[in-house]
Structure 1
């Protein structure tokens, strides 16, 4: 497992990766629109939930780099993940709810909200949980990577990658069964552990496949995508509501179904995106998906609040579609605003 040489050259952008991220962030927004409206289930909810978050963990593993060492790696992840989480937790999970309470627009969030991310792991701007969880997943995987590289590879170099896979699977299983038996760890650690196999799968895909580059197998991308989606839908067809929840680390699927659906769905989105390459608006949302992630909860809440205050009585499908479309279209203004005024807390520029 040879180290990646640090470089100052800008990383290349892969258009289809932005498209994949755009598809998934729009699925995230749709899910939260439906949830905010109070609808417990909708067609294909369990199938989509099984791969919506694994895709992001897989992509993070796909672009994993060792950098100059552990501390340099930590600094980069603090800039890209921890600082955005901290800023939007304080502003949109703590301060903003108190402002709304003062204006009599929302109930009192209670002082415990300030430390709710530690054990309660439930707070007003809950979508940002992913940033904290991904931060820990990165650090955990880096630790496993160092064990495989500096311990296993020295004596058994041929087993370096396989040992990394085994360690990742073991840690993932521990996280999964912590959730199955309702054992909570602070700071979303259990969810981060459960996600390690997806992160490792992305890293292995980068090392041993040509998933990022054009290759002869690309002519099968559409059939592979359709097959993957079909298998995920079949596996999740009779699943009870909320069978998979990475934020609460709760899974009512068999363990093999959870990971199989996660990987198949992730690959299906990537194959489909690679075949299409780019859809301008969707790809744009994907490129700046962190900005959508950290704010969309309150954006859609505001739209729903306006509809309710004006006594708009549309059929549920029309209302949901309206809230979703307006939410996404507002990002044509929100994203440029955040790029201009909040680059250091949206992973566009470094603080450290």
Structure 2
């Protein structure tokens, strides 16, 4: 059996990941998309979660804890797709309420609501709930096929094939897609985006062999080694983003330069994982990581209300006029609210997350 201690760094990595996800979504309200910090975060923040899922899935596979059958599929459906549909409905209802209250504005609100419903049922998804649908399908595919490709070489070939297909689609074919049927286009986005999610899970499964073998080492004895590796990855990731400024949005299947996206996705994931190993005892990040799913699905709707709360009700001190500080302030409030709301809902309304009340 895998000891819980081995998974501490993964919880920390998820904690870091959910922090940057919420920060990036808040930042969109104040900072242009081409801002270098926005480019930096989007270059890896969602692939990170799929890589981490691949690491966890491989660890469970090695311990013999899971097998693919109807029970496994049912369990995953309840864990991921029930929250997907439940919170999609909540998102749409809240959008209607916010439009009525004048909190948000759409040129054609009725069409926007219909458009959102189509997004949900094509699994293209609403932000950030799309992650749940893609993870569900990618995880099932991973469980079905991964035992047939156990060698690193075969898994590497799978990743290269998927990356090549998506490179070809993005560079040669993507511009033609907006002219296709809307529903067909949304399904297309879901399928190719999910293929990338699967590829990142396979990469995670390959990396897990290294981390499972090394994480039992005394971190104190190897701390400088991990710090040096982290520093190298971070500098490389920063330089690539500074040079290329590759615009990415995995939700919309916008990859910019696909090769740069693949590179920054892997580098960014490794950077966060190395940092999480160094600070694996951080209890706050561990707790955020353990509750990252609830924060992921809950943080988006309250952001407009939190912005109003900070501006109208509380008032904002002059020093918070700086965009980055303002973004950080709203992020902290959003994380705090959704963290405790998630704990409450999991305990008292577990069906929202596909769980039974204990």
Question: Normalization by structure 2: what TM-score?
Answer: 0.80
2:15–2:290 Cα contact (<8 Å) kept? yes
The aligned counterpart of 1:227 is 232
Where structure 1 has 5 or more consecutive residues not aligned to the other structure, the ranges are: 1-8, 150-159
Distance 2:325 2:210 in 1: 46
Aligned to 2:85: 86
Greater shift, 230-239 or 95-104, is seen at 95-104
Q: How many residues align?
A: 327
Cα separation, 2, equivalents of 1:162 and 1:71: 30
Instruction: Tell me which residue corresponds to 1:334.
Output: 341
Aligned position for 2:254: 250
Distance 1:173 1:305, change over 3 A: farther
Q: Structure 1 pair 62/212, CA: closer, same or farther in 2 (3 Å)?
A: farther
Counterpart residue number, 1:100: 98
1:237 maps to: 242
Provide Cα deviations, 1:51-76, integer angstroms capped at 9, x if missing partner: 21121111111121562324333223
Query: What secondary structure, in the 3-state scheme, does the structure 2 residue paired with 1:236 have?
Result: helix
327-336 or 278-287, which moves further after superposition? Answer: 327-336
Q: Distance in 1 between matches of 2:123 and 2:200?
A: 25
Partner of 1:279: 282
**C-alpha contact 2:166 2:258 (8 A) present in aligned 1:** no
Task: Indicate the residue corresponding to 1:55 in structure 2.
Answer: 48
What residue in structure 1 maps to residue 143 of structure 2? 142
Bigger Cα displacement from structure 2, 207-216 vs 77-86: 207-216
1:298 aligns with 2:297: no
Q: Could you say if the C-alpha distance between residues 238 and 139 of structure 1 is closer, same or farther in structure 2, counting changes exceeding 3 Å?
A: same
The CA deviation at 1:172 is: 3.4
C-alpha contact (below 8 Å) 2:167/2:258 kept by paired residues: no
| 1: CA distance, partners of 2:69 / 2:94 | 35
What is the alpha-carbon distance in structure 1 between the residues aligned to residue 11 and residue 269 of structure 2?
A: 14
Distance change in 2, residues 1:342/1:288 (3 Å) = same
Counterpart mapping for 1:196-207 below 5 A: 196-207=198-209
Does the Cα contact within 8 Å between 2:291 and 2:339 map onto a contact in 1?
no
| More helix by percentage | 2
Alpha-carbon separation, structure 2, partners of 1:342 and 1:303 = 23
> Which residue number in structure 2 is paired with residue 153 of structure 1?
none
Q: Aligned partners of 1:40 and 1:164: how far apart in 2?
A: 34
- On the 8 A contact 1:88/1:294 being kept in 2, the answer is yes
> Is the contact between residue 54 and residue 201 of structure 2 (CA under 8 Å) also seen in structure 1?
yes
Q: Secondary structure of 2:81's partner?
A: helix
Q: What's 1:266 paired with?
A: 269
TM-score, length-normalised on structure 1?
A: 0.82
Distance 1:332 1:249 in 2: 28
- CA gap of 1:49–1:110, structure 2 versus 1, over 3 A, is closer
- Pair 194,336 (structure 1): closer, same or farther in 2 beyond 3 Å: closer
Measure, in 2, the Cα distance between the counterparts of 1:280 and 1:305. Answer: 31
Where in structure 2 are the equivalents of 1:287-326 lying within 5 Å?
Answer: 287-309=290-312, 314-326=321-333
5+ long unaligned stretches in structure 2: 178-184
DSSP 3-state at the match of 1:26: helix
RMSD: 2.9
Question: The residue matched to 2:28 in structure 1 has which SS?
Answer: helix
